[in-house]
Structure 1
Amino acid sequence: MPELPEVETTKRGIENQICHKRIVEIQIRQNQLRWPVPAELKTILPGLVIESVKRRGKYLLLKTSVGHILIHLGMSGHLRVLTQSIPAGKHDHIDLVFEDGSCLRYQDTRRFGAWLWTDQPLEHHALLKKLGPEPLSDEFNSDYLWQATRTRNTAIKSLIMNSHFLVGVGNIYANESLFLSGVHPLKPAKDLTLLECEKLVTQIRQVLSAAIDQGGTTLKDFLSPSGRPGYFVQKLFVYGRADQPCLNCGTIIERAVHFQRASYICPTCQPLPKKRRPRQEKTSK
């Protein structure tokens, strides 16, 4: 599933090619995505100009003078800009056609993505208003993580993957960040030390930034708008490396399933937190 680095890669790949272009039409060949594609887009969009392309979490936001197109890539979606007419393939569901003859084409094999429209302020939209801070923003820092975890008993991996707490940290990047911070995925969030909070914030930011620089991570479906896979897969320390030696200490990497997602752990670099034993009351003789 495309995560923050893949969506950011897509944003950077399309924005210079579609910004300030006037829309002629939208061709919807398949409207049954995660949510039905609004039919009114066919009447709303012609004549509008794409003013900017932004990203919030895993949503791409195409701004016009009267509202935004919200795009989510789902599990297998990707976008590319075509400068010449190329016949649509089986899974090419949407074309946003521009005045100069180019088009933004959306392909989605599994059809779990979305194309939606809103003319309301983005901060009020149901899909956006409860999202947590961006991990590469100043809002996400060690103080935020420290203060927000003091009363949370949930496992830290589950917490940093919760989009209401922090957006965009998918399973691959959670595994990598926790390993590089020396934190076990099951460690209760409230048990993190201030130093561990500082390390984890630093590693989340560095891992995501490095992944963006490499064009994201391609395990199966993801391609950038230029048709290239993401090369961060070559930089992974633990994800997908079960039964292989840890690149830091040589201990064999273990795989476990936590919260229905695969976790990859070095038992030496990320020791499992010891369970606290309940206090035993002294009995009087």
Structure 2
Amino acid sequence: MPELPEVEVTRRSLVQAVTGARIEAVRMGKPLRWPLGCDPASLAGRQVLGLRRRGKYLLMDLSDGMLLIHLGMSGSIRFSDHLPEAGVHDHFDMLTDRGTLRLHDPRRFGAVVHAASEIDAVAVKLLGGLGMEPLADGFSLPAFEASLKSSRVPIKTLLLSGRVVVGVGNIYASEVLFLAGIRPTTAAARIGAQRVRRLYAAIISVLTRAVEMGGTTLRDFSSADGAAGHFQTQTRVYGRAGEPCHECDTVIRMLRQGQRSTFYCPVCQRA
């Protein structure tokens, strides 16, 4: 699933090309997770003013309204002036005077949703419950620590929920907790102040490095210009069950948490 690093990589690979483009037409394929929320023809003539990110959503600001784009479980975006004919898994084409933006999504859990503004009820419903942005100045250590202290949920489960901090998906949660030396099953409220500081720093470090490496490509993720990510080549624990830990040679273990695979080192992450 594309997580924060993949969405940020997509945004960075797309923002210069699409900003200033004028929409000429919109083509919809099979229904996505949520409806567009407006007549596709009504988007023609609007100009793209910019492209931001909130959590795993791309926010495309238009001269009238905005589009919220989510990549779902398997989505990716392309932007080019010479795309081939839309295929069976291409569900949204936005034709502009600079090229075509296309959402490709084999599993159709992604979405493109129109909203009048960020305070529109539609946008609030999708964005209102999101936690702090880990790569923004507003990611506050005191607020992060307070949120952990009020929860007895296992720390990995809490990170994945997105209620405290957004974008720490399954791969990155395992890597973050290894770097911080915290067992994934530890209740959030039991993590002391020193380890909270390590966890806070690890979240920033891992996600920053993932963005710099183009995200993670396990199956089919690539940026808007077709480049694959490389973070998966440097994971310390994720996907390495049965292999020796790079730090202590102990065998990496895997367990299930909420139907998701969790990888950890039983020595480096004692508690």
TM-score normalised by the shorter chain: which range applies? Answer: over 0.9
Counterpart in the other structure of 1:254: 253
Q: Quote the Cα distance in structure 2 between the aligned partners of 1:85 and 1:141.
A: 42
Deviations 1:155-186 (A, max 9, x none): 11111112122111101000000001000011
Counterpart in the other structure of 1:23: 23
Identify the match of residue 77 of structure 1 among 75, 78, 81: 75
SS of the residue corresponding to residue 125 of structure 2 reads: coil
Q: CA deviation at 1:122?
A: 4.1
Q: CA deviation at 1:84?
A: 2.2
Identify the match of residue 116 of structure 1 among 113, 116, 121: 113
CA contact (8 A) 1:23 1:49 kept: yes
- Give the letter aligned to residue 5 of structure 1: P
What TM-score do the two structures reach when normalised by structure 1?
0.91
- Give the letter aligned to residue 91 of structure 1: H
Runs of 4+ displaced beyond 6 Å: none
Q: CA deviation at 1:223?
A: 1.3
Q: CA deviation at 1:86?
A: 2.2
Higher-Rg member (1/2): 1
Deviations 1:121-144 (A, max 9, x none): 348520011111101123223322
Identify the match of residue 64 of structure 1 among 62, 65, 68: 62
Stretches of structure 1 that go unaligned for 5 or more consecutive residues are 274-285
Q: CA deviation at 1:260?
A: 1.5
Q: Could you say if the C-alpha distance between residues 113 and 85 of structure 1 is closer, same or farther in structure 2, counting changes exceeding 3 Å? A: closer
Counterpart in the other structure of 1:283: none
Counterpart in the other structure of 1:179: 178
Counterpart in the other structure of 2:214: 215
Stretches of structure 2 that go unaligned for 5 or more consecutive residues are none
Q: Could you say if the C-alpha distance between residues 85 and 127 of structure 1 is closer, same or farther in structure 2, counting changes exceeding 3 Å? A: closer
SS of the residue corresponding to residue 243 of structure 1 reads: coil
Q: Could you say if the C-alpha distance between residues 7 and 262 of structure 1 is closer, same or farther in structure 2, counting changes exceeding 3 Å? A: same
CA contact (8 A) 2:38 2:114 kept: no
CA contact (8 A) 2:76 2:223 kept: yes
CA contact (8 A) 1:161 1:170 kept: yes
What TM-score do the two structures reach when normalised by structure 2?
0.95
Q: Could you say if the C-alpha distance between residues 46 and 206 of structure 1 is closer, same or farther in structure 2, counting changes exceeding 3 Å? A: same
Q: Could you say if the C-alpha distance between residues 268 and 148 of structure 1 is closer, same or farther in structure 2, counting changes exceeding 3 Å? A: same
Deviations 1:95-132 (A, max 9, x none): 101124x1111111111100100003348520011111
Counterpart in the other structure of 2:104: 107
CA contact (8 A) 1:122 1:129 kept: no
CA contact (8 A) 1:133 1:140 kept: yes
SS of the residue corresponding to residue 161 of structure 1 reads: helix
Q: Could you say if the C-alpha distance between residues 239 and 34 of structure 1 is closer, same or farther in structure 2, counting changes exceeding 3 Å? A: same
CA contact (8 A) 1:80 1:226 kept: yes
Alignment of 1:92-241 (within 5 A): 92-100=90-98, 102-122=99-119, 125-241=124-240
* Residues paired across the two proteins, number: 269
Deviates more, 1:255-264 or 1:141-150: 141-150
SS of the residue corresponding to residue 15 of structure 1 reads: helix
Deviations 1:212-237 (A, max 9, x none): 00110011121111212210001100
CA contact (8 A) 2:32 2:91 kept: no
Deviations 1:189-248 (A, max 9, x none): 111111101100101100000000011001112111121221000110000000000001
Q: Percent identity?
A: 41
- Give the letter aligned to residue 142 of structure 1: L
